[in-house]
Chains A and B, each alone.
Chain A
Amino acid sequence: MNIGSTHALSGPFETEALSVVSVQFSPVSAQTTEDVETNVETICDFMNRAVGGFPGVDLIVTSEGALQGFGPDCKNVLLNYDGPEIRRLKDICKSLDVWGIFCPLFREYAGMKCANTCIMINNKGEIVHHYVKMNPWIPGETSCPGGECPTTLGPKGARIATIICADGDYPEMWRAAADGGANVIVRVSFDMSPWDKAWEITNKAMAYTTQCYVVTSNAVGLDEVYSYFGRSMILNPDGAIITEAPMGLPWMIKADLYPAIVDHTRTQYASNNFQWARRHRGASHPNLAGVGASVRAYGNESVR
């Protein structure tokens, strides 16, 4: 970091490192409550492993489907918001003093039946963030789409937005996260062959265009139908991969991020300040005099 602008990133600013671990493993394609319990146990094992291997970690990210898989029976093992599986995740976050991101398929959340939901639990064991996948992978996924992409204050100056798997194929989802003030966008996935190259392309491209850190976690392994490739990765706001897990293996990756750098770029980038420039097109033209034209003037305000 940092190659995003031609101009130097001037001026002092304070920042604190956000230490992130992303976990990838092969969850059981759950058919029973016992299968879900097995997956929760695996998640807890990885969290214990993460704090052991990376002392001081602030945030641990797990993949979509890590609790239930995404097999034909996953709708038979939907979770309750206040069920024992979620309580266990709350407890381990509190006991390890870490934040965690998990992706349960809830029986119901906020009136939505079968809600593929990304939750963030803080280090006190409280759920502080909810995001319901807005772009279920149709026609294969029958979850109810959510309606908003919130940003939530996380540890160490992070403002975290989450998107889920196929959401990442839609640039407007990433933009919504950045527009909401995110400096770290977390993409949790259960992504499979043949999209392992698209996975890298979209993660890189949207880290670059949103100028946010991107943290991803993707499952590995096989279920009844698909092969899940892994390749969880953490990326710089300039689109460069900081670290990447291998294809197909259970793994953990770790990086220290500096969210305040992203905030500083929003005011200090002169060139390539995309979040500002896209709403002030042509601002250097003498007639547009530092204001520029809005996207509305071009008839494509829908990108906002």
Chain B
Amino acid sequence: MSELALFFSYEFTLLALVAGLLASVLGGVLGTFVVVKRLVFIAGGISHAAFAGLGFFYWLGHDPLIGAVLVAVAAALFLGLFSEGQARSQDAMIGVLWAGGMAVGVLFIHMTPGYAPNLMTYLFGDILTVAPRDVVLLAILTAITLVLLAVLHRGLVAVAFDETFARVQGVPVRVLTLLLLVLVALAVILLIQVVGIVLLLALFTLPPMIGLMLVSRSFGLVLLAAVLVGMLMTAGGIAASWTMDLPTGPAIVLTGIVIGVGVWGVKALRFRFRGNS
């Protein structure tokens, strides 16, 4: 109990917790769209491509965050506009952006004289070192995302469910898809700080997957479930990392996987004992 009291007595741990909860909202809401629209690898490509901008701006001596945002948004628009009717080339292009972005980023960080930043932090994240500015940015982006969701949800859900039907109904499918990708790109950049480039896909995929396992009646409830699962996952991960002295990124991801396996197991057992009803 004293350990818990200690946890809440530090400013940086509280900041980490707030960052984790905001990341859960972003990851849960945007991730659910990403999962049902099968954009997971586009999100992965965007996050890895962003590393090029991050490294380049670091080398220039500017704020790496700005470089990452510029490249991520450009990659999102590029992949979004590239997508129509060219699934194979888009798939390959994601791979090119993925590897190319990492290569460029690592190269520039290598070329930068003086103390090299810890690559591990970018790759795997460290929520306990999250800066107040990043938490503010996370809060702003979360607020923007929620407002857009409130205003556009009919169109967004229609596009997520059945694009062609939505187009016939006059919904601007392309604009909404691009908007979604840009929001994903911005979220990806801010989530790099929380769980790192390599692990951030977990925040976009695990909570929505678990949410979809729990709820089949309403898309809105899936969003809510995904957000709550994400919160459980990040808070649990931070707690595990704090008590067992583990790196936070992997602790968050593995907590999520444990929750997912648990939910799946309970569902499988119930299915078995109740029969198909």
**Does A pair with B?**
no
Interface residues of A (CB under 8 A from B): none
Interface residues of B (CB under 8 A from A): none
